[in-house]
Homo-oligomer: A and B are copies of this chain.
C-alpha cells in the first residue's frame, strides 16, 4: 500500500459552522471594560466600529456553534479545504520517530490564513448595507486578505499601511492594489491624527498604532463605513476555527490523533484556529493534548508578559482587554515576522494560558529562520517568517521525542508562505540577520506600567 502524503477533505466537508470555544470554557475570560466607566462592554458599544453581527459574535459566550453563511462557504471553496500534510521529508532529516503533520494554510491565494476571517468580515458588513471598509496593515498579510475579500463582496477598501512597509514591501502593496484596494502610507494627510503626526515629525516612518488610529478615524467619519481587524479579537479567532475543524477530520483520515499542537503566536488567531477545535476535548477531559504557542523572543507577551487589563492599541482607542501583555506602549524590535510584533494576546487565549490549558515558548529570530530553511529544503514550501516560529518549536519537540524514543504525533499550523518575504531569507543566508535580546528592565518598564 502506498504512503499518503496529503490528506484532503472534499469540499462538502468544509465546515458549515465555526466553533465558539468560549461557550464551553469553564473559566470564561473576564469582560472587556469601558476605559472611562469601567463597565463591561456590550455588543451595541461596538456597533459604531464593527458590523453588528461581528459585534455580537465578539461577545457571544453561549452558542457553541455559529453558522457559516453559505455565501462565505462558497468563497472558502476557492482554497479550502486546505491540505493536511505528513512531513516525511522533515521527519527523515531530523531522524525522529515523531510523526509530523502540518495544516497548509499557505495555499490560500493571499498566502496565509487571514482570508478565513477576511471573507466573513467583508460578507457581514456587506449584508448590513456597508459600502466601505478601512483597516491597517503592517507587513501586509492582513491587508492583502481583506483586499481580495472586499473585491469578492464588492466593497471599497482603504488600507493604511505603515509607511516604512509601504516603501520596503512594494510587492504586498501591489497585491492589495491588484485586488482593487486603495493603499495609503501611514501617517497620511487624509486624517486628523495623521496630519498631526506629520506636522510634528515629518520624518516619522509610521507604526501599527498610528495606522490603526487613522483607519478608525476614517471609518467613524465616513458614511456606511466600518473598520475591520485581522487578529486578537474573539470573532477573528472564531472564524479561524475552520482550520482546526478540518484538521480534526483529516487527522482521522490519517488514523492518528495529535499529542502536541503548535501554532506561531502574534495576536493569537492562527494558533486559536488550529487549537480550539481540539481543545474542546481537553476541556471535556477526553484528551490530554499539549497546545504550544510559539512567539518570538523579541515580543514575549505569553512567556514574559503580565496578565492584566490593557488596551489593544497604542493610542488607547479600544476597550480594556484582559490579556497577557507587554504593555500597550511596548515597541518590539524590528524582526521580519511582522505579524508577531504585537504587545498582547487575545482574551480567550490569555485565560487559557492562565488556566494552564495551553503552553507558550519563545523562539529566537535566527533559530526560526534555520528551521524555516530546513523545512523549505525538505518539504519545498518557503514558510512565512511568522510560521518559522511554529516550525522551530515543532523541530524542538520532534528532537525531544527522538531523545525519549517516543513516536509522538505533532501537528502544526503552517499559517502562510514566505514568497513575498524573500528579502528576509536573503539576509539570513548572507549572515546579516541578528537575534534581539530584551533585558528584564526593558520589558518591565512597559509591562508593569498600568
- On A, residues with C-beta under 8 Å from B are 2-6, 8, 10-12, 74, 77-79, 89, 107-111, 148, 151-152, 170-171, 174-175, 177-180, 373, 376-377, 379-382, 419-420, 422-423, 425-426, 429
Contacts and interface: CB of A to CB of B under 8 A. Distances in A.
B178 A109 contact: no
A297 to B, nearest CB: 23
Contact of A419 (B2, B11, B377, B419): B419
B376 A178 contact: yes
A422 B171 contact: yes
A380 B426 contact: no
A400 B178 CA distance: 26
30 contacts: A2-B12, A3-B74, A5-B77, A6-B77, A78-B380, A89-B152, A108-B380, A109-B381, A109-B382, A110-B380, A111-B419, A148-B380, A170-B422, A170-B423, A171-B171, A171-B419, A171-B422, A171-B423, A174-B426, A174-B429, A175-B419, A175-B422, A177-B425, A177-B426, A178-B376, A178-B382, A178-B425, A178-B429, A179-B376, A179-B377
A171 B427 CA distance: 12
Copies of the polypeptide in the assembly: 2
Contacts of A180: 377
B78 A379 contact: yes
Contacts of A373: 178
A106 to B, nearest CB: 9
A159 to B, nearest CB: 15
A151 B419 contact: no
A387 to B, nearest CB: 14
A425 B174 contact: yes
Contacts of A423: 170-171, 174
In the A-B complex, list the 9 residue pairs whose CB atoms are closest, starting with the nearest.
A109-B380, A5-B77, A171-B422, A174-B422, A174-B426, A419-B419, A109-B381, A78-B380, A151-B377
Nearest to A1: B12
A444 to B, nearest CB: 38
Nearest to A426: B174
Nearest to A376: B178
A410 B377 CA distance: 37
Contacts of A177: 425-426, 429
Contacts of A110: 380
A10 B8 CA distance: 8
Nearest to A73: B2
Nearest to A86: B77
Nearest to A106: B109
A418 to B, nearest CB: 9
A426 B111 CA distance: 19
Given A11-B4, A170-B423, A426-B170, A79 B380 contact: yes
A8 B5 contact: no
Contacts of A379: 78, 109
Nearest to A177: B429
A79 B171 CA distance: 25
Nearest to A76: B5
A123 to B, nearest CB: 15
A381 to B, nearest CB: 5
A231 B6 CA distance: 29
Contacts of A12: 2
Nearest to A171: B422
A10 B2 CA distance: 12
Nearest to A108: B380
A111 B380 CA distance: 10
Nearest to A419: B419
Nearest to A80: B6
A76 to B, nearest CB: 10
A110 to B, nearest CB: 7
A116 to B, nearest CB: 13
A318 to B, nearest CB: 31
Nearest to A77: B5
A181 to B, nearest CB: 11
Contacts of A380: 78-79, 108-110, 148
Contacts of A3: 74
A164 to B, nearest CB: 18
Contacts of A381: 109
A53 to B, nearest CB: 23
